Amino acid sequence: MTGGVLIRKNAISPRRGKFIVLEGPDGCGKTTQARRLVAYLKRRGKKVLLIREPGGTRLGGKIRRILLDPANGEMSMEAELLLYMASRCQIVCEIIVPALKKGVNVVCDRFLLSSIVYQGCAGGLDIGTLETIGRFAVGGLEPDCSIVLSLPFKTAMERRGVRPDRIEARSRTFHRKVLRGYLEMAARHPKKTHVVESTGTINEVQQEIRAIVDKTIK
């Protein structure tokens, strides 16, 4: 037991690979940067796997479609949280932990911090309770390095797609809280959470990300 929460042993047992997470608000460019980071690590001869949340497994893919479908506008914030956690639990057990144990480095497009920010800071759910549920869902697994891509609110709004999903379509007030939430949470965990401004060119942002990751994956 850890902090009153049951932790699955397979998630916190020794692992050889490194777990890198890219985080940030919608429109920050993290998906593009994650792909470029993986390509860079492969050129360095590293074993690396790219995954995204929600999704990444057969079950997770089904949950992703439910979560992002604009037709599901009646979904409560609590139900939303638990669906994200269910998808996350599955990908940790099925994909992430087995890869790390084999010495494969995992680059993840979003992880637990996304729920803390989106359903907690912006959605109004209690962050302490959310963190407790999160620890259980991921079996105590923590990233070796989290990188938050930050950008001005106006830029983030301009980068949204013409057909926003259910989360992207939320109010400007909600998305402002998301931006603030990421910075506040990063400030609480400065040793393992790095903030990178994503207002530069794709190459400039990538260089900053690589400099951070190179310190984690030797």
* pLDDT, tens only, 48-94: 999 999 999 999 999 999 999 999 999 999 999 999 999 999 999 99
pLDDT of residue 48: 98
Rg of the Cα atoms in the chain:
17
Buried b (16+ CB within 10 A) or exposed e, 72-93: eeeeeeeebbebbbebbbbbbb
> Which residues are registered as beta bridge partners of 195?
148
Buried b (16+ CB within 10 A) or exposed e, 103-115: ebbbbbbbbbbbb
Q: Please, which pLDDT band fits residue 14 given cuts at 50, 70 and 90?
A: low
- CB of 22 closer than 8 Å to CB of 149: yes
Q: Please, which pLDDT band fits residue 3 given cuts at 50, 70 and 90?
A: very low
- How much is the pTM? 0.90
For the CA atoms of 211, 36, 118, 4, the dihedral, rounded to the nearest 10 degrees, stands at -60
Whether pLDDT at 4 is above 60? no
Just give the CATH number of 9-216: 3.40.50.300
Residue 171: Cβ within 10 Å count: 9
> Which residues are registered as beta bridge partners of 155?
none
Q: Which of 109, 143, 146, 116 has the alpha carbon at shortest distance from 131? A: 116
Residue 51: Cβ within 10 Å count: 20
Considering only residues 13 and 162, tell me which one the structure prediction assigns the higher pLDDT: 162
pLDDT of residue 162: 72
